[in-house]
Chain A
């Protein structure tokens, strides 16, 4: 019963915050609305019987990733107003129509796949025996150990890639903070 109430409180907030995120003019507002959306998703994970992913969602997404986003927004100062003209004519309406078609298609697939009725669900307390973290670690380190190791390579490659992108060659690129040298022979006023 509790999950029913929580679902109907959280689901509208989730959808409304996502729509507002897409419509937000200001990039900072969009980031804050996305944080709201991540918190609602964390609560969905909680009522679906996954306290570990609830905590990870808040720490990794709402904490680390969104702070990184806000940091880049502040660094670039990209919250200036964007031009409203469309480069491709009717792009918004085509995108909206395609989006609605996608939503209808997925809803139809859900209807045909598992149906909207309240079916009998397996007992999840048996699966989460000994705590969700322990059960998850059991699956992760027994069945998915090799993919887990591969993600470490992925993270190292991502870190090196980000470092190479962020580096700049001072020699062949003008820098903003370097003082402009006055041409030789002319007196500096």
Chain B
């Protein structure tokens, strides 16, 4: 394998950063949620890259668990977005201001 592992880690860091910026600047709850998915995937890439570097499969098992947790998280998160939309008629996170003083 000719590609250094650190290159994969840099791509992973870039994707995580892009996901973070997406969470910070977007206001549509669905796109914020997609950015969170992007962050989870970036961390999965880092885990698999470390697994390759260390020469054991623990990183891949961790990435597998993280996928399971992401699936559960998507189900609950989308249900919350649907119920938010049903109450407010909007998927804009700025409209969810019931706790605002």
Main secondary structure of the interface of A (DSSP, over half): helix
Closest beta carbon of chain A to B32's beta carbon, Å? 10
A64 to B71, CA, bound (A): 9
Contact A139 to B57, CB < 8 A, known contacts A56-B67, A99-B17, A165-B79: yes
Give the A interface residue count (CB, 8 A): 87
Interface string of A24-45 (1 = CB under 8 A from B): 1001001100100110010011
Instruction: Specify the chain A residue showing the minimal Cβ separation from B55.
Output: A122
In the complex, are the beta carbons of A136 and B52 less than 8 A apart?
A: no
Kindly report which residue of chain B lies nearest to residue A28, judged by CB atoms: B30
CB atoms of A103 and B14 under 8 A apart: yes
Chain B residue with minimal CB distance to A117?
Answer: B4
Q: Does B96 contact A (CB under 8 A)?
A: no
Nearest Cβ on chain A to B84's Cβ, whole angstroms: 10
A123 x B78 contact (CB < 8 A): no
Tell which of A21, A99, A116 touches B38, judged by Cβ atoms closer than 8 Å. A21
Q: Contact: B4 with A102, CB < 8 Å?
A: no
Q: Which residue on chain B has the smallest CB distance to residue A49?
A: B52
Residues from chain A with a CB closer than 8 A to the CB of B27 are 82, 87
Q: Which residues of B contact A (CB under 8 A)?
A: 1-11, 13-22, 24-28, 30-31, 33-35, 37-38, 41, 44-45, 48-49, 51-58, 60-61, 63-65, 67-76, 78-83, 85-86, 91-92, 94
